[in-house]
């Protein structure tokens, strides 16, 4: 990806980051409607209108995440990102880069595997979505937040600032 020299993430980049974080937490913490729908379908039943509605909430939020992911990559390509932070030890800079690339991959992979399961009945895709990708996402979010805390309180850098107030 191209990176111009900019001091912080642009306002649209920051808005997309935090809106997406909110939507992702919602789907991670409240997938029960979708799970209930899936259980009924798996057992050959017919889901009630309420079950379909709450499964659709999960689906539409997930599809919004996919749309924002496309927008986010475009913003990254056209507006660039601030330089790596020199105070951070090289090994952590490398880890952060790997984590960010994987997070980018997940914001595409989760919605796409979910859609394959929900709209096209691909069960294996549902299992990958609900078990493997979900766990990787949780682990990376934990590492990501730990990294942000280390920047703020240990290395005392402007990392959090450039993704918040700018």
Among 127, 132, 154, 156, binds ligand HEM (CB under 6 A): 127
**Residue pair 121/109 in contact by the 8 Å Cβ criterion:** no
Cα–Cα distance between 134 and 152 in angstroms, integer? 27
Among 70, 74, 94, 160, binds ligand HEM (CB under 6 A): 160
Cα separations (Å) of 88 from 28, 114, 140, 165?
30, 36, 18, 21
Task: For residue 149, give every residue at least 6 positions away whose Cβ sits within 8 Å of its Cβ, in sequence order, or none.
Answer: none
Give Rg (Cα) of the chain: 18
Stretch that binds ligand HEM, among 44-52, 60-68, 86-94 (CB under 6 A): 60-68
144 near ligand HEM (CB under 6 A)? yes
Among 6, 40, 52, 103, binds ligand HEM (CB under 6 A): 103
Give CA angle at 74 (114, 98), nearest 5°: 70
For ligand HEM (CB under 6 A), the number of binding residues is: 40
Closest CB 74 distance from ligand HEM, rounded Å = 12
Where does residue 128 fall: left (phi above 0), alpha (psi -120 to 50 degrees), or beta otherwise? alpha
93 near ligand HEM (CB under 6 A)? no
109 near ligand HEM (CB under 6 A)? no
Footprint on this chain of ligand HEM (rule: CB under 6 A): 17, 21, 24-25, 27-28, 31, 34-35, 38, 58-59, 62-63, 65, 76, 81, 100, 103-104, 107, 110-111, 114-115, 117-118, 126-127, 129-130, 134, 141, 144-145, 148, 159-160, 162-163
């Amino acid at each position: 990806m191209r990176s111009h020299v900019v001091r912080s993430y642009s306002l649209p980049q920051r808005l997309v980051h935090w809106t997406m974080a909110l939507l992702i937490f919602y789907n991670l913490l409240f997938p029960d409607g979708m799970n209930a729908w899936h259980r009924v379908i798996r057992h050959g039943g017919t889901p009630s209108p309420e079950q379909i509605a709450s499964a659709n909430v999960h689906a539409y939020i997930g599809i919004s995440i996919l749309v924002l992911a496309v927008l986010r990559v475009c913003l990254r390509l056209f507006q660039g990102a601030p330089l790596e932070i020199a105070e951070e030890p090289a090994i952590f800079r490398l880890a952060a880069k790997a984590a960010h690339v994987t997070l980018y991959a997940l914001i595409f992979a989760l919605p796409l595997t979910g859609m394959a399961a929900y709209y096209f009945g691909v069960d294996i895709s549902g299992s990958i979505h609900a078990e493997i990708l979900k766990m990787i996402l949780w682990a990376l979010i934990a590492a990501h937040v730990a990294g942000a805390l280390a920047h703020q309180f240990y290395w005392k850098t402007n990392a959090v600032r450039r993704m918040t107030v700018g």
